[in-house]
Structure 1
Amino acid sequence: MQMAKDWQDYELIDTGGGEKLERWGDIVLRRPDPQIIWPLQAETGMWRQADGHYHRSSSGGGNWTFKRTLPERWQISYGPLKFHIKPTNFKHTGLFPEQAFNWSWMMDKIRGAGRPIRVLNLFAYTGGATLASAAAGAEVCHVDAAKGMVQWAKENAQLSGLGEAPIRYITDDVFKFVEREQRRGRQYEAIIMDPPSYGRGPGGEVWKLEESLYPFLESCTSILSDRPLFVLVNSYTTGISPTVLNNLLHMAFRRKHGGSLNCGEIGLPITNSGMVLPCGIFGRWESNA
């Protein structure tokens, strides 16, 4: 288990009873989490006085209630990276704090490469990995199908002093974009992706991670440069283990390029209990060159 434990502006305070209590800057939020199947030891005042509480509906979705009027959005930092946080209608806040573990690693890899690095960030959301890569000196192509998320990523870049950094923002279907990059002959030294468990393309194409991930990884091999640096895959899909991801990356990249693999779980430390909340898995292939 690898942990994102260097946060100052974020804290996982407590967990239990299907919920987590988190501090985002000076604002405390209470949200559901399906991984938390252990009981809540004590519903302390902090739990009851959370600034925002997301209530899941039995019919799907849910809604927020607030103890006080919160700003529409607010800012938190991770080292030089700055992010806007906002409670959304689907319980998220615009950031997955466990990914800080990967941000630190990719920044070290890019800085240590000693050469220009082009990064392709697929399913790029609000741009955590994009900002980390750009802050380390990489040229980045940020691709996400959701226009609102791409705009949010641009705003995060401005906050982080990266408004003039070489970042290309693309609002597009990720699979179609990769196909076009293949035809254009464009290549990247590093590829990052956080694919969904399930989705549909613009033409009704069905994406199911278990069936579609390996063919997609294979398609990405053709846009990896002759001097690749790394490929990073994140997954929150229940049932996909680190060993499975290791095997996929071995077949797609290591057999052709050599290098090394590192796959495992990512988690967040829980302050009150000393336990760890699992937050998905990661898989890294990196070149030895």
Structure 2
Amino acid sequence: MMQKYLFFYLSFGILLISPLILHAEPADTKKVQLSLSQAVEQALANNLNLRLKQDDVQLAEGDAQKAQARFDTFLSAEVGAASKEMTPLFQHGATEEDRSKLNGKIQKRFTTGTEIDLGIRNGRFENDAEGILFDPAYNSTLSLSVSQPLLKGWGTDIQMAEIQSAEKQLQASTHLVDSQAADLAASVKRAYWDLVFAWQDIEVQQLSLTLANTLLEETGEKINAGKLAPVEIYQPQSEVARREETLIASERAIGVADDELKLLLNSKDWMATFT
């Protein structure tokens, strides 16, 4: 009879301290508080595939700007001056000669295919020869050219085709990034709330185990008082064991949910635990 009570007290003590052992955490575990908005922002910032898609958007923007550039106004200017000394070939001939120029041009292409080229050229010539009527001498030239394709390249549709293609590619790339970002944000939100539920569930399971241990303790006291038969201890013992098993499963669920969220966030700190 004494051995039977000794076995009972030993089992009862093990059941009381087992939840503390099961729920013990490593000493180096770091808990990090993370809000839902922070989780979504971190996932969007760290996702490598999303970064590559964003690079595609930037490339598409460059292609669109390049296609539009063919209708930009092109303005150019040229300035120059030169001076030289020479041996005169005849009496009173020039020994020094100076030249300078100032040229400008403006070009424009329109969506109809029309191209306009307007240019102006200015020159100045001066030397020290005798008998020259105009010294220095100036010359200016104004030119205007207009071209319009009549067969190949005629019409706005053809001229705008490259721009429209680049803009559609830009829209497609942007939509793909937005869609992937929305899918990633939705996955992060699901994983976040799964982790929140796992933390809440473990609190419920811990309370359930505490109640089962309380019932086991009360049953043991009643058995010691002779109010219950010793065989009545097995039912609360089995209930404690069942709830311990459920608590272990809940702790494992926290680890799984935490790992899934870290994968989505591309987290580098795998030793930390999100709370």
Which has more radius of gyration?
Answer: 2
More helix as a share of residues? 2
Q: Per the shorter chain, which TM-score range?
A: under 0.3
More strand as a share of residues? 1
Which of the pair has the greater relative contact order for Cα pairs under 8 Å at 6+ separation? Answer: 2
TM-score norm. by structure 1 comes to 0.17
TM-score norm. by structure 2 comes to 0.17
